[in-house]
Chain A
C-alpha cells in the first residue's frame, strides 16, 4: 500500500528545499510527516546521506520526539490530553471511555483504519478541560457524550 518508491520523490524534494537551512533536521522531519502522515523507515537513509549523519543519529532524533511517527496513522488522529488540568476535570474517565469505544489503546489504530489514538500533555486549552484534538481541531469540555458525537461526525468523513 505504501510503496517507498512512490514516496521517495516527495522526500527528495523536501531534502532539496532544506539543504542550506541551519538546523534543518526537525523542519525536514516535519515536512515529511506533514506530507506523508509519517516518516517511512526507508526515508532515514536518504535523510542521513543528505545531511551527512549516520542513520542511527537520524533514527535517534525521530524516536526522541513524541510527535514523530514511523507508521502510517489512521484516517483521523485523536489526541487526548493527560495533563493535570484535564485530570482535574475528568480526563481519566474520558480516556477509559475513548479506549473502550474505539477498542484500542494509545499508539494504536482501529481495525478499520479510521482512528488512531495518541496521548498529549497539555494543549494550552486548560481553561476548558478536558481537551482533545481530532486532526488539527481542538475541542474543549469534552464529556464522554461529546466524545461520541465527535466520533460520529468524523466517522467515514475525510
Chain B
C-alpha cells in the first residue's frame, strides 16, 4: 500500500483539496491501486496547494498545485511510484524556501497526520511533557525563562516572567487560557498549528499547567476557524483516551483538563482581559489593569493567558532545553518566528525562521515580490494595528527592538503586501473604520475618536481645509495613543500616521522628503 498526503488545512481546502481527494479516491479505485490518503497539515507553501505528496522507498515526492483535472494524468504517469510529471516538485524539504527555514515550532506541520497520537509520538511528540513530569515547577519555568521566549501574540512580553508570577500566586484554582482569537489580517500561524499539529499546543498547555499548578485549561478559539475546532477536539479526545489529558497524566498523579470554547466574531476579544470576560459569558469589555490576569484572571483566579504559538513553542523548549531555543535569533528576540506572507505576494505562505532576517530578504527571496508583478509599495506588518512600512525601511531586521525603533510593530509576524495601485489614504481610513467597528466602547478616545478620524480623513482627501485637518488628525491620533485603555485605540494611530507620513501624496498633500 502506498501512502499519499493531501492537506486538511483550510487554505488548501479553500483551493480545492477536497475535490482533489475525491478525484484521487475514485480514479485510484477504478485502477485498483492500493493507496491510503493521509490528511496532513500544510507545508505552508500556499502557492503550491493543493499539494500532493507520495511516500516512496526513497522519500516523499511532491506534486502541486494539483487540480482535480490533473489527477488522471498524474496517476497515468506513475504518481504512485513518484515518477515525473509536469507538476513534479521532488522532495518538498529539499526546496530552497523550505530547506532554509528553521522549523522548531512547526517541525511536524505538513509532515504528520495532525490527529494521530501515534504519529505525534513517532515524531518526537510528548518528549517535552515527559521531561516536565519529573521536574519541579520552578525548573520548568526556568527553562522557559532561559529560552528567551517572548509572547508571540503581539506584545512580546517575556513568557517566563508571566509563568513565574502565576506560579507564585497562591490560589486553590488556577487556569491556563490559550488565546486562539487570531483576528489580525495577514496572520494564520495559529490556525496552521491548530489544524496541522494540535497536539503540540495541547502538550504546551499541559506543561504550562504543571509549571504553575493549574488543572484546567481553555482554548478560546475564534468562530471563523471551524476546521481548527474539529482538529483540536479530535486531538483532545485522543490525548484523553491515552492518558495525556485528564486525571493522573501518565501515572504522575498530575491533572490537567482542556476544553475548546468558541468566540463569536469580536476582534477585541483577542485582548486578554476582554477574552476573559468573554469566557466568563459576558460582553468583551476590556478590564482595567492592574490587577494583572496573572493575579486576578479567569473567574478571579490566577491565569496564564498565552498566544497559540507561545504555548506551542514550549514542548521543544522542554524537550531540548531553554538554551537550544535561545541559540536562534538576535538581540533580545530569541528563537524563531513563524512569519506569514499574505496579500499581494507571489509566494504566500508560512516561513518559520530565526529572528534577524531582513524584511527585504523575506519579501523578495522567499516571497518572490508581488503576485501582480508590480512594484511593492507598502507592507503592513503586525496586523491591523501595525504600521505601514515603505521600501526605504525594508532592510530592517526582523527583531522586536529594531521594529520598535522605527515606530513599527513586528507583532504576530504577519505581513500584508500591497503593490503600487494601493490608495494609502483609503487604508488609513479603513484603519479608523475598523476601530469604529471593533472598539469595545469603554473609552471615549477610541469609541468616538475613531468615528471622528474617519470624518477628518474624508475631509483631507476631499481637499477641505487640508492643512488644518491634517493637524487635527495628528492631534486626534495623539489623544487616542495616550487616552486609550488598550492597544485597540492606542495603536490604531500606527497604520494611520505611517500612511500619512510615508504616503502623504495619497491624501492630496505634498510628497514626503526622501
- Contact indicator A120/B265 (Cβ below 8 Å): yes
Bound: A127/B422 CA distance, A: 18
Chain A residue with Cβ nearest B194? A124
Give chain B residues whose Cβ lies under 8 Å from the Cβ of A131.
14
- Contact indicator A126/B342 (Cβ below 8 Å): yes
- Contact indicator B11/A88 (Cβ below 8 Å): no
B427 within 8 Å of A by Cβ? Answer: yes
Give chain B residues whose Cβ lies under 8 Å from the Cβ of A66.
264-266
- Contact indicator A29/B191 (Cβ below 8 Å): no
Bound: A66/B439 CA distance, A: 12
Query: A88-B343, A126-B340 in contact; A140/B188 too (CB < 8 A)?
Result: no
- Contact indicator A126/B283 (Cβ below 8 Å): no
Bound: A87/B86 CA distance, A: 33
Total count of chain B residues near the partner, CB < 8 A: 56
- CB under 8 Å from chain B, chain A span 42-97: 51, 60-61, 64-68, 83-89
- Contact indicator A125/B343 (Cβ below 8 Å): no
B interface residue numbers (CB < 8 A to A): 10-11, 13-15, 46, 182-188, 190-191, 223-226, 261-267, 278-284, 299, 340-344, 348-350, 371, 380, 384, 414, 416-419, 422, 427, 430, 434, 437-438
Give the shortest distance, in Å, between B243 (CB) and chain A (any CB): 24
- Contact indicator A127/B183 (Cβ below 8 Å): no
Bound: A128/B11 CA distance, A: 7
Give chain A residues whose Cβ lies under 8 Å from the Cβ of B430.
84, 87
- CB under 8 Å from chain B, chain A span 8-61: 22-27, 29-30, 51, 60-61
Chain B residue with Cβ nearest A29? B264
A65-B263, A88-B418 provided; 5 other pairs, C-beta below 8 A? A26-B262, A67-B265, A122-B187, A124-B188, A127-B348
Choice from A25, A68, A89, A121 contacting B434 with Cβ under 8 Å: A121
A111 within 8 Å of B by Cβ? Answer: no
Give chain A residues whose Cβ lies under 8 Å from the Cβ of B190.
124
Name 12 A/B residue pairs within 8 A (Cβ), A-sorted.
Answer: A23-B261, A30-B262, A65-B265, A68-B265, A88-B418, A88-B419, A121-B185, A122-B185, A124-B225, A125-B10, A136-B226, A138-B10
- Contact indicator A85/B261 (Cβ below 8 Å): no
Give the shortest distance, in Å, between A52 (CB) and chain B (any CB): 12
Bound: A120/B438 CA distance, A: 12
- Contact indicator A27/B261 (Cβ below 8 Å): yes
A147 within 8 Å of B by Cβ? Answer: no
Total A-B residue pairs with C-beta atoms closer than 8 Å? 141
Bound: A83/B452 CA distance, A: 21
- Contact indicator B343/A61 (Cβ below 8 Å): no
Give chain A residues whose Cβ lies under 8 Å from the Cβ of B422.
88
- Contact indicator B15/A141 (Cβ below 8 Å): yes
Chain A residue with Cβ nearest B348? A127
- Contact indicator B261/A138 (Cβ below 8 Å): no
Bound: A129/B422 CA distance, A: 15
Give chain A residues whose Cβ lies under 8 Å from the Cβ of B261.
23, 26-27
Query: A67-B223, A67-B264 in contact; A84/B187 too (CB < 8 A)?
Result: no
Give chain A residues whose Cβ lies under 8 Å from the Cβ of B186.
84-85, 126
- Contact indicator A65/B264 (Cβ below 8 Å): yes
Choice from A61, A67, A85 contacting B342 with Cβ under 8 Å: A85
Give chain A residues whose Cβ lies under 8 Å from the Cβ of B380.
84
Bound: A112/B13 CA distance, A: 29
Bound: A86/B342 CA distance, A: 9
Give the shortest distance, in Å, between A59 (CB) and chain B (any CB): 10
A117 within 8 Å of B by Cβ? Answer: no
- Contact indicator B14/A89 (Cβ below 8 Å): no
A98 within 8 Å of B by Cβ? Answer: no
Bound: A124/B186 CA distance, A: 7
Chain B residue with Cβ nearest A87? B430
Give the shortest distance, in Å, between A157 (CB) and chain B (any CB): 16
Choice from B343, B350, B437 contacting A89 with Cβ under 8 Å: B343
- Contact indicator A126/B267 (Cβ below 8 Å): no
Give chain B residues whose Cβ lies under 8 Å from the Cβ of A121.
183, 185, 267, 434, 437-438
Query: A26-B261, A61-B283, A65-B265 in contact; A124/B10 too (CB < 8 A)?
Result: yes
Chain B residue with Cβ nearest A120? B224
Chain A residue with Cβ nearest B383? A84
Q: Which of A24, A65, A86, A120 is most buried by chain B, counting CB atoms within 10 A of its CB? A: A65
Give the shortest distance, in Å, between A106 (CB) and chain B (any CB): 12
Give chain B residues whose Cβ lies under 8 Å from the Cβ of A27.
261-262
Chain A residue with Cβ nearest B388? A84
- Contact indicator A128/B348 (Cβ below 8 Å): yes
A151 within 8 Å of B by Cβ? Answer: no
- Contact indicator A88/B267 (Cβ below 8 Å): no
Query: A61-B282, A64-B266, A127-B349 in contact; A22/B299 too (CB < 8 A)?
Result: yes
- Contact indicator A26/B342 (Cβ below 8 Å): no
Give chain B residues whose Cβ lies under 8 Å from the Cβ of A22.
280, 299
Bound: A126/B182 CA distance, A: 12
Give the shortest distance, in Å, between A90 (CB) and chain B (any CB): 9
Bound: A86/B267 CA distance, A: 17
Chain A residue with Cβ nearest B182? A124
